[in-house]
Every structure is written in C-alpha cells, then in structure tokens.
C-alpha cells in the first residue's frame, strides 16, 4: 500500500469542515480590513528565496525543497509566502496603484524539517502583507488584523509580544555588541548556535535550548542600539496599540527567523506556542529587484492554530446533518426519489437519497446516521395514492402530505 509522505496529512470529515469555517472567517475579516486575496505559484526560482529570505536562515540552508527542471533551472517549493508576494508586487507594477497595497493568502507551504506537533513538511499558512508604507500606523494595523483574527477564532490566553530590530544601521550596531557578548560565552552554547554565531549572531536569540536560554537572558538589548528615528517609530507603534486597546509586552529577545525583518517584529503566543508572527520588512522589495518600499506583514500556521484550538476546546467531532432523506422502493419510487432530491438540491436544500440499493430498513438507518431532519419513503403505493408520510426524525412524528405538495412543504420546512 502506498502511504502518505512523512510530514504530510490528509484533511477530511469533521476536520475539513473546521478548516473551511476558519478559512471563511479569515476571508471575511480581510474583506472588513480592505485586504485583497493573492494566489502565487507553489514554486519560484530558488534565487528569490536566497535573496529574499536570506542565505543565513535555517530555511535557506536546511529546509527548502529545491529541484532542477528540464531547462536546468533551479526551482524551490514555496517555504514561506512573503517573498512571492514581494515578487508579484514588483512584477505586476502594484506600486503604481493607490498605496498601501494590502494582500492576503491561504497557501500550502513546504519545508523539509523534522516533523513534530503542529509542524509538518507541507503545512498551510494564512498571511497578510501590507506594502507601500513606512508608517508605524501600518505596523499597528497589521498587528490589529492578527489580534482581531485570533479573537474571532476564540483562541484563549493570547499574549502579544513586540520588539524592534531597528534599521540596518541599528542592526549592524547591535550585531557588533551581541557578537562581543556571545563570543565571551561561546563555550556555553549548543552546536547550532555556535554555527549561527559565525553567520548571524542575531539568530542565537531565537534558540530554545535551555543552556542557550540561560546565556541569552543576560544578553544586551537591541532597544539600547536604536537610533532616534527607530526609537520614535517603535514608540508610535506602542501608542497606537494602546489606543486600540490591544495589550502587549515588549520583549527584546524576539527577532523572528528571517533575515528580511527591520524595525517592528511581533509574535502572538498561546499555551506557550507561537501561533502567529511577523514584522516590518522595508528592504525586501528592493532586495527582490524593486524600488525601496516600506512593508509589514505576518503569517499564521493553520495547523498550529487548529492544534491550539483543539487543545483548548477539545477534539473536533463530526456532526453530520442533512435536511431530508428521500427513501424509495421499486423502480418507479427510485426514479421519483432521484428527481425530487435533485430538484431540492438545486433549491439549496441538503437532500439525500439511496444510490446503493439498500433495503428500506437500511435506508432509514442511513438517514439517522447522516443526521437527516426529515425522511420520506416513495414507493408504488405512495405514487398511486398521491400521498406520503413525512417523518420528523427526532420526534418520530409523521404527517401526511400530498405528493404534489411534498417539494414545496420540504422547501418551507428546510429553508
């Protein structure tokens, strides 16, 4: 038997209904905030992610699914959504439209990494990208979208943590200070962080190893290296969040895992898990070949969100429900049942009928299993008399209905 590839998952039944509900809420919220949908290809030229995400990131170094096509071109399955949106923004001249350009996506994403709870090799990401503004107000708006979404989803115990990495000059200054500090404690770090120290010391702050955490706890703060303009920008973000009634904690250790972030970065945490994160990336569009463009956004892993919701609210249970089951006996009854079911479905009624040649008794058992509110049996006697017994399944109450009025009665009861 051919089985699932490790790190992938089939989504069906009650779970897929929960996904559809969540995705519906995401789309409705984006409509409220004036955010349009974008659908980018599942693969791009590898160079886009090397330049956009950053050569020193774990994603580029270890986690990308990269292959060479028949034209000897290096292509990579999408490991994150922002770089593709930046490429589309440039390629389609979106900067010529009224700014900011606000886009969202719900996309499968691919990373070759160790599988664990809430982390798959193919996972699904909801992301929002807002391009065309350097204002702190745009940062706060992006954060407010994420806050409103998590509230709409009913996620409990959510904590917003924010930080600022400053502009490239501030970041360079902090990297120098951080490198000096880490260099004095290099022997206490894990092998991965020793490697990160050589390539990008900022990534050490993202390590979850206990030994590294103990060292990081005493690391200098990036906020002490911000210049006047970056300090003012971060202060305005906080002021707007307070005015919006969105509580937050400033956490100087938040750096996020991608090289393109500048200034504001943030994470929403629930039950000790990061459910959503993002920040400002003012250099990404230019890095991908466009003009200097202020931008900010965030990503949310849908599998991670589902895991948190299930942990907080219990396992998802399938609750099948149909409006009506049209049972049948004999050839004439089957034909009439098929036609009536089709007519009801065209009118938006969730109707079902027999298609596997069950006995009447088995059909009624099936009607119960699919949660039908009403049922009726059509056979030779019903067709001859022109009358049927319409059964309310929960109470068992039966009502005689003229066959010619059955469709209209069902439409009224099931509307």
pLDDT one-digit tens code per residue, 80-101:
999 999 999 999 999 999 999 9
Does the pLDDT at position 378 exceed 70? yes
Give the pLDDT confidence score for residue 70 in this predicted structure: 93
What's residue 201's pLDDT?
A: 77
Whole-angstrom distance, CA of residue 26 vs CA of residue 36: 11
Neighbours of 44 (CB within 10 A): 19
Query: Exposed, middle or buried: residue 87 (CB in 10 Å: 0-12, 13-18, 19+)?
Result: buried
Is 379's pLDDT higher than 70? yes
Q: How many CB atoms lie within 10 A of CB 48?
A: 20
Is 237 found in the same domain as 154? Answer: yes
Q: Contact 400/389 with Cβ under 8 angstroms?
A: yes
- How far apart CA 266 and CA 161 sit, in angstroms, is 6
Q: Which long-range contacts (CB under 8 A, 24 or more apart) does 283-289 make?
A: 283/168, 284/52, 284/82, 284/83, 284/86, 284/260, 285/86, 285/89, 285/90, 285/131, 287/51, 287/52, 287/260, 288/48, 288/51, 288/52, 288/83, 288/86, 288/87, 288/90, 289/90
> What is the CATH number for 388?
3.40.50.800
pLDDT at 396 over 80: yes
Confirm if 265 and 223 have CB atoms less than 8 A apart.
Answer: no
The pLDDT, as a whole number, for residue 56 is 65
> What's the domain count of the chain?
2
| Residue-number span of the structural domain to which 58 is assigned | 13-167+227-313
- The pLDDT score that the predictor gives to residue 316 is 74
Q: What is the mean pLDDT of residues 246-264?
A: 86
Q: Say what the pLDDT of residue 189 is.
A: 79
pLDDT in tens, 317-364: 777 789 999 999 999 999 999 999 999 999 999 999 999 999 999 999
In this predicted structure, what is the pLDDT of residue 108?
A: 96
Structure tokens at 170: 């501030």
Q: What is the mean pLDDT of residues 15-30?
A: 94
Q: Could you tell me if 132 and 45 lie in one domain?
A: yes
Structure-token pair, residue 172: 């360079």
Write down which residue in 287, 313, 339 finishes a domain.
313
What CATH number corresponds to the domain at position 35? 3.30.930.10
CB contact at 8 A, 131 and 285: yes
- The reported pTM is 0.87
Per-residue pLDDT, averaged over 214-219, amounts to 81
- Stated as kind and residue range, the H or E segment containing 91 is helix 82-91
């Amino acid at each position: 038997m051919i089985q699932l590839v490790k790190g992938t998952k089939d989504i069906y039944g009650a779970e897929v209904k929960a996904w559809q509900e969540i995705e519906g809420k995401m789309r409705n919220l984006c409509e409220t905030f004036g955010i349009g949908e974008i659908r980018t290809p599942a693969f791009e030229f590898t160079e886009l992610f090397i330049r956009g995400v950053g050569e020193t990131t774990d994603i580029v170094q270890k986690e990308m699914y990269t292959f060479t096509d028949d034209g000897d071109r290096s292509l990579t399955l999408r490991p994150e959504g922002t770089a593709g949106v930046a490429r589309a923004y440039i390629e389609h001249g979106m900067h010529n439209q009224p700014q900011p350009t606000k886009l969202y996506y719900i996309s499968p994403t691919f990373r070759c990494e160790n599988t664990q709870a809430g982390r798959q090799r193919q996972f699904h990401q909801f992301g929002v990208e807002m391009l065309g503004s350097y204002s702190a107000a745009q940062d706060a708006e992006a954060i407010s979208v994420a806050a409103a979404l998590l509230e709409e989803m009913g996620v409990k115990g959510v904590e917003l943590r924010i930080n600022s990495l400053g502009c490239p000059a501030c970041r360079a200054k902090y990297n120098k200070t951080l490198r000096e500090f880490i260099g004095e404690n290099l022997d206490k770090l894990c092998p991965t962080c020793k490697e990160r120290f050589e390539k990008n010391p900022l990534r050490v702050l993202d390590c979850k190893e206990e030994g590294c955490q103990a060292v990081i706890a005493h690391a200098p703060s990036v906020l002490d290296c911000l210049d006047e303009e970056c300090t003012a920008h971060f202060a305005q973000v906080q002021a707007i969040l307070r005015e919006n009634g969105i509580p937050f904690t400033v956490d100087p250790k938040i750096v996020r895992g991608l090289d393109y972030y500048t200034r504001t970065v943030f994470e929403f945490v629930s039950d000790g898990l990061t459910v959503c994160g993002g920040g400002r990336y003012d250099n990404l569009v230019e890095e991908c070949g466009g003009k200097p463009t202020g931008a900010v956004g965030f990503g949310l892993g849908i599998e991670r969100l589902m895991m948190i919701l299930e942990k907080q609210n219990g396992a998802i249970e399938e609750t099948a429900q149909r409006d009506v089951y049209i049972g049948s006996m004999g050839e004439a009854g089957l034909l009439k049942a098929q036609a009536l079911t089709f007519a009801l479905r065209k009118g938006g009624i969730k109707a079902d009928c027999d298609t596997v040649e069950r006995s009447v008794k088995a059909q009624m058992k099936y009607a119960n299993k699919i949660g039908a509110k009403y049922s009726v049996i059509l056979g030779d006697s019903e067709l001859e008399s022109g009358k049927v017994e319409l059964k309310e399944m929960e109470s068992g109450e039966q009502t005689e209905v003229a066959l010619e009025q059955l469709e209209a009665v069902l439409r009224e009861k099931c509307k």
